[in-house]
């Protein structure tokens, strides 16, 4: 049995920016008793367009920040960081590190009728082929079509999730996938759950949307249970949000994701 203080330690979650807060929201729903420390690397966002070496360096620095604060596990709530750095993080740090990729893959394969999968994500995520590889290893018969969709994060960060221009961009990005007749669309970026309403309207319910935030939270729960790491204390769990760059816009995004529960957003120096 782990030391009591380890069980009461917070979960650490990091992302390149505020997109990973979709995972925090899912964690709070599924694990309402857990304390959470979130780190958003807003001073260097986005990661998705940067090179693998730089992404790995940033992911290690993010994880270091969280482990120094004594977290009991780290969630890489960023698909780009997961795709390029998960193995490195798992071999470098003592605490368990969970990514968003495996949960997304499992959620995709949860429907055995799925035949043709489309994947959308940042350039970094799509280029890594991490999703394509992981899906193909488990379901060699699956038809997999991936598309880098780099403009979606800027639109989401602007809050323009219903703008006609966003719809025009989406139509262009999705056309090659729809032409291939995909039955499932994997949202391989933690920002994209915010596009589910517009995607549902555009795709009309014919295509299953897979979002990794909720399956990632389920993975974290299994991990905590298997390691007997669930927080037992009855006191109110804490939620701390750190950003490497504090701007009004980032704080507005934090409130949009988490409401006033988020408390005061703090500055992190990596």
> Which residues are annotated as catalytic?
78, 189
What is the nearest approach in angstroms of a copy of itself to the Cβ of residue 20?
17
Instruction: Output 50 or 145, the one with its CB closest to a copy of itself.
Output: 50
Cα 174 from Cα 183, distance rounded (Å): 12
In the block, tokens 């394969």 appear at 109
Cα 56 to Cα 199: distance, rounded to the nearest angstrom = 31
CA 228 to chain centre: 24
Residue of the chain from 116, 150, 183, 240 that contacts a copy of itself (CB under 8 A): 150
43 lines the binding site for a copy of itself (CB under 8 A): yes
Q: Smallest gap, in angstroms, from Cβ of residue 132 to a copy of itself?
A: 18
29 binds a copy of itself (CB under 8 A): no
**Of positions 163, 200, 255, 256, contacts a copy of itself by CB under 8 A:** 163
Applying CB under 8 A, the site for a copy of itself has a residue count of 26
Residue 238 near a copy of itself by CB under 8 A:
no
Quick one: tokens of 221? 């729960």
Alpha-carbon gap, residue 73 to 96, rounded angstroms:
5
Residues 48-67 that bind a copy of itself (CB under 8 A): 49-51, 54
Strands (E), 149-244: 184-187, 208-211, 239-243
CB of 244 to a copy of itself, least distance (A): 8
DSSP tag of 10:
P
C-alpha R_g of the chain: 18
d(CA 166, CA 118) in angstroms, rounded, equals 19
Nearest distance from residue 50's CB to a copy of itself, in Å?
Answer: 5
Q: Is 4 near a copy of itself (CB under 8 A)? A: no
β-strand partners of 38 = 13, 241
Is residue 176 close enough to count as binding a copy of itself by CB under 8 A? no
Q: Does 128 bind a copy of itself (CB under 8 A)?
A: no
């Amino acid at each position: 049995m782990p030391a009591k203080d380890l069980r009461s330690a917070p979960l650490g979650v990091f992302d390149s920016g505020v997109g990973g807060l979709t995972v925090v929201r899912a964690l709070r729903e599924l694990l309402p008793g857990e304390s959470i420390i979130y780190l958003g690397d807003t001073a260097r966002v986005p990661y998705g367009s940067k090179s693998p070496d730089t992404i790995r360096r940033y992911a290690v620095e993010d994880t270091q920040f969280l482990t120094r604060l004594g977290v009991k596990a780290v969630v890489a709530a960023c698909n780009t960081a997961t795709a390029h750095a998960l193995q490195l993080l798992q071999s470098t740090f003592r605490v368990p590190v969970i990514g968003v990729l495996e949960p997304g893959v499992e959620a995709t394969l949860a429907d055995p009728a799925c035949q043709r999968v489309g994947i959308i994500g940042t350039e970094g995520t799509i280029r890594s082929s991490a999703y394509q590889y992981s899906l193909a290893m488990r379901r060699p018969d699956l038809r997999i079509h991936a598309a880098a969709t780099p403009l979606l994060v800027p639109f989401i960060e602007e809050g323009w999730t219903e703008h006609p221009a966003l719809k025009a961009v989406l139509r262009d990005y999705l056309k090659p996938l729809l032409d291939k007749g995909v039955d499932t669309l994997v949202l391989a970026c933690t920002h994209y759950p915010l596009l589910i309403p517009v995607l549902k309207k555009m795709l009309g319910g014919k295509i299953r949307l897979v979002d990794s935030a909720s399956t990632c939270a389920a993975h974290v729960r299994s991990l905590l249970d298997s390691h007997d790491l669930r927080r037992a204390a009855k006191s109110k769990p804490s939620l701390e949000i750190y950003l490497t760059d504090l701007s009004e816009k980032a704080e507005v995004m934090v409130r949009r994701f988490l409401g006033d529960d988020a408390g005061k957003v703090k500055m992190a120096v990596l």
